[in-house]
Amino acid sequence: MIGLLLPLAARIGVAPRFQRLAAWAFLLLAAVALIFAVRAAWRGWLADRDAAVVQSHDKDLTIEAAARVTAADRAADAAMRNRDDAFDNSQATLKDKADEAARTRRSPLDAVFNGMR
């Protein structure tokens, strides 16, 4: 490699006694630049990979949270339906008792109040 760089150093006007030193300095600078370029590329790749991992993890968490919210909504709806059904059943029972009391000529309010005790 030095053999290729010596004529280049002579062509750009480096004194003959410093041509070998200039060639070694160029090789050293080229090696350092290559190391820095590889290091920057590696860091860029790692940053992109880390961002992709974080984004994937965030997406998984979002999907999981949405699933939990959906499950909670369904459970709340089921609980509300159960509560409404229980209320409707108790109202129907009270109405049946009041109707039965009216048919037997008793006070419907007494029958309802007795059923509530």
pLDDT, tens only, 31-80:
999 999 999 999 999 999 999 999 999 898 899 999 999 999 999 999 99
Q: Which residues of 85-101 are buried (b: 16+ CB within 10 A; e: fewer)?
A: eeeeeeeeebeebbeeb
Q: Of 70 and 112, which is predicted with more confidence?
A: 70
CA 41 to each of CA 28, 35, 51, 57, 79: distance values in angstroms, whole numbers, following the listed order: 20, 10, 15, 24, 56
Domain assignments of the chain as residue spans, ordered by start:
2-116
**pTM, rounded to two decimals:** 0.47
- Please give the pLDDT value at position 84: 95
Instruction: For the chain, report the end-to-end CA distance as a whole number of angstroms.
Output: 105
Q: Of 62 and 17, which is predicted with more confidence?
A: 62
CA 55 to each of CA 38, 40, 105: distance values in angstroms, whole numbers, following the listed order: 25, 22, 74
- Please give the pLDDT value at position 3: 74
